[in-house]
Amino acid sequence: MTAPSAKASGGLRQSMTWLHTWVGLWFCWLLFAVFLTGTLAVFEEPITHWMTPEHHAEEASATTPSAQSHLDYAKRLTVARDYLAANHAESRVWSIWPGDRISGGALVAWARDERTGEFGRHQLDPASGRPLAEDDEEAQARETLGGHHFVDFHYELHAGTLGLWTVAIATMAMLVTLISGVIIHKRIFKDFFTFRVGKGQRSWLDAHNAVAVLTLPFQLMIAYTGLAFYPTIYIPAANLQGAISTGAADERTWTGTPAPLPDLGPFGRRASDLLAQPIHAVMIQNPGDSSMRIRVFGSEEPDAGQRRISRSLGIVTFDGANGQILRVQRPGEGDGPATTVGSVMDSLHTVDFGGWPVKWLYFLSGLAGTAMMGTGAILFMVKRRDRHGNEFGRATARVYRLIEALNIAAIAGLGIASIAFLWSNRLIPAHLVGREAWELRAFFGLWLMAFAHAFLRPVGRAWIEQLAFTAVLCLGLPLLNLLTTGDHLGAQIVRGDWESAGVELVAIAFGFGAAWAGRTLHRKAQDTPPRRRRHRPTLAIEGTK
């Protein structure tokens, strides 16, 4: 990158252009992947629903009126308390989930292992308190990451802390690129209404500008709120002022003086009355000790997210030894402004408000943002096909070829990998041990193969072939579902299973989009004179020349 040195010492717009171009280029492939998977993650639950066909009937019955029986919370809390006292008396923290108030569901108890500090999950029979075999509920369900794969990938790339930091750095680069992009635009709003079809580089630039301006506020918001999930991890210096322990005020040191375990039912009833909410969970700290604390968490109404962005559960904290109320945090009350702001940021990022219309708005905005990154990546190469930038000296041609391959693999290849992830869910045997890992291997394996294909095949052919393959996989998904489970789009719509139908309809829409793009490229390649193609083997995606 020797050429931009002169530009960098020029005016503001030149230095911002350099920053926008190069930071954008080196991060666009990763950001494209993060944005596309993040966009798909908006529909995490429908994807998970589609990927666990064994649960379809069970979930449908859970919403029928007959299942909406009132739970006997007091009995369930007593059953769980007795189980934990008999089996986990040494644990300093117990948690009890009495069950979902809509469907009833299982009674679940958690106890922290004092040696490892980890929580163990115990599912109990609400009537007898007998622990259910771990596989009782899920024996018929296949192991799958479901839509959570896209959630995990988009913020940590399935790579733990390293992935978390990598995505954070890319997100910060995105913020820098967005701001510098605004600065370099002389006529940002005029450009938004300008789209010149069939003008090669100019068309790509117009498309890039249009989707960028259209979704600029959304992208600034989604990038910043993504970083705001773990602010003190990214800026640990803020924490140097003192060690922080959230909720430390409520924790008490173990005294060693025994105290009888109280009946949890009255605590639940009092908390429920105070909060005007049903019980979501009960946490007991230092059970059986005079320092015992009982925290009862309220449960929000199903449509609470329609009414407010900042949500927090109501919590009532009791002194377990004498039943005295120590603290009442009503629903919607935060601990303070920073906590409230953090809660709003979380809700804004995870679309935890507004219901399906807002989810669709996020999905479409996310697709537009993804398109902005894709068009930006393509634009870089389209610009340089006619006018070699010679930015990398003698290696320029090889670096350009690598960039072309990365463009194909990141854009078309990721599409293949994502839809192949859904295919793998149906093709991998349902009861194969470790099938979650095999689904992931299918995703990353196909993506790697797409990169190899993009590097080995001529650029134009690689684009067409990968887009065609994406189209085949997307359009074939409903057929695959029919062949492997017997379920089909018509049946899903008739029984009102819009989550499954939505996944398949969106796959079909993507399939038509990929087919259209591949066909357009194929036609353009056919129209290009053979001699010209031989001299310029990297044409293809430009298409309009």
Partner 1 sequence: MQIVRSFRRRPLTRLILAVGGGYATTSLIAMMLAGVFPPPASEAVPGGALVGLALYPVLIICGFMVKELRHLLGGIAFIAILLGLIVMGCLQS
**Which range of residues in 98-106, 228-236, 299-307, 382-390 is near partner 1 by CB under 8 A?**
228-236
Which one of residues 237, 303, 486, 526 is an interface residue with partner 1 (CB under 8 A)?
A: 237
Binding mask 166-205 for partner 1 (x = CB under 8 A): ------x--xx--xx--x----------------------
Q: Nearest distance from residue 324's CB to partner 1, in Å?
A: 23
Q: Which is nearer to partner 1, 15 or 350 (CB)?
A: 15
Q: Which is nearer to partner 1, 339 or 485 (CB)?
A: 339
Q: Nearest distance from residue 216's CB to partner 1, in Å?
A: 14
Structure tokens given for 377: 């990546």
Applying the rule CB under 8 A, the residues between 93 and 152 that interact with partner 1 are none
Which one of residues 339, 350, 520, 528 is an interface residue with partner 1 (CB under 8 A)?
A: 339
Applying the rule CB under 8 A, the residues between 345 and 384 that interact with partner 1 are 345
Q: Nearest distance from residue 183's CB to partner 1, in Å?
A: 8
Q: Nearest distance from residue 95's CB to partner 1, in Å?
A: 21
Residue 329's beta-bridge partner residues?
A: 315
Query: How many whole angstroms separate alpha carbon 411 and alpha carbon 468?
Result: 13
18 contributes a contact to partner 1 by CB under 8 A: yes
Q: Nearest distance from residue 8's CB to partner 1, in Å?
A: 4
Among 297, 371, 239, 312, smallest CA distance to 97 is for 297
Q: Are the C-beta atoms of 509 and 428 separated by less than 8 Å? A: no
232 contributes a contact to partner 1 by CB under 8 A: yes
Query: How many whole angstroms separate alpha carbon 489 and alpha carbon 104?
Result: 29
Q: Nearest distance from residue 215's CB to partner 1, in Å?
A: 18
Q: Which is nearer to partner 1, 372 or 507 (CB)?
A: 372
Q: Are the C-beta atoms of 480 and 426 separated by less than 8 Å? A: yes
Which one of residues 102, 235, 328, 452 is an interface residue with partner 1 (CB under 8 A)?
A: 235
Length of the chain: 545
**Which range of residues in 2-10, 61-69, 434-442, 502-510 is near partner 1 by CB under 8 A?**
2-10
Q: Nearest distance from residue 23's CB to partner 1, in Å?
A: 8
Which one of residues 68, 140, 194, 239 is an interface residue with partner 1 (CB under 8 A)?
A: 239
Half-sphere exposure of 181 (CA within 13 A, CB side): 27
Which one of residues 12, 86, 133, 433 is an interface residue with partner 1 (CB under 8 A)?
A: 12
Task: Show Cβ contacts of residue 136 under 8 Å, excluding neighbours closer than 6 positions.
Answer: 123
Task: Show Cβ contacts of residue 417 under 8 Å, excluding neighbours closer than 6 positions.
Answer: 443, 444, 446, 447, 450
Q: Which is nearer to partner 1, 224 or 451 (CB)?
A: 224
* Range 462-500 burial, b when 16+ CB lie within 10 A, else e: bbbbbbbbbbbbbbbbbebbeeeeebbbeebeeeebebb
Supply the DSSP symbol for 263: P
Residue 295's beta-bridge partner residues?
A: 283, 317
* List of long-range contacts for 2-8, beta carbons under 8 Å, 24+ apart: 2/391, 2/393, 3/389, 3/390, 3/391, 4/391
336 contributes a contact to partner 1 by CB under 8 A: yes
Query: How many whole angstroms separate alpha carbon 203 and alpha carbon 194?
Result: 9
Interface residues with partner 1 (CB under 8 A)? 1, 4-5, 7-9, 12, 15-16, 18-19, 22-23, 172, 175-176, 179-180, 183, 224, 227-228, 231-232, 234-242, 244-246, 248, 335-339, 341-342, 345
